[in-house]
Amino acid sequence: MKFVLAAATAALMLAACGDKTEPTLDGAPAAPAATSETAAPAAAPAGLAAGPAAGKWKVTVSTGGMDIPPNEMCYAKQVSMEEAQAMQQQAGMTCTEQTYAADGKSGHSVCAMQGMTITTDFTVTGDFSTAYTMQMTSSMDPAPPGMPQPSTSTIKMERLGDCDPGTAPTP
């Protein structure tokens, strides 16, 4: 159940904010203002809602009553919503509904993955350049045994600075 929940959350993060493709974590915290060390690179092209800025990010997830250990990931570039949706499809998720606010900070989706239909609503506070928190409410059909319906996930991400030399970036 933990894998399915983590995989579903990861795929939903892809659609919601251009997060990673690994099915083990998702993330998002509200952190202090950026310093010169954590200054984010240029944003995605105008007109496209974008996810986290390029750089090294700390991801903390709480979902289904479980706290997943923090993880760090490296983004080579800031990802637009359109790019995130393409990564989501590559991860095996097919969506019949995906609506997002122009700024990418709220949305609704209905997606299928591993024989489940996952309906999610999310809101984001903070900014995609330094730190943000995402609140997601999801329902799965069929629901994994013992999982509350709907379930709530909190994903916190904090930009730590540039990627470490030699670190393979998340697409």
pTM over 0.85: no
Matching residue, tokens 């379930």:
151
Query: Are the C-beta atoms of residues 116 and 4 closer than 8 Å to each other?
Result: yes
Centre a 10 Å sphere on the Cβ of residue 113 and count the other Cβ atoms it contains: 21
Q: How confident is the model at residue 58, as a pLDDT?
A: 95
Q: How confident is the model at residue 49, as a pLDDT?
A: 63
Query: Are the C-beta atoms of residues 54 and 40 closer than 8 Å to each other?
Result: yes
How distant is the alpha carbon of residue 161 from its chain centre?
18
Q: What is the pLDDT of residues 60-69, one digit of tens each?
A: 999 877 899 9
Q: How confident is the model at residue 171, as a pLDDT?
A: 63
**Which residues of the chain are modeled with pLDDT < 70?**
1-49, 171
98, β-bridge pairs: 109
Whole-number Å distance between alpha carbons of 162 and 21: 20
Q: How confident is the model at residue 11, as a pLDDT?
A: 40
**Hey, where are the domains in the chain?**
2-34+47-160
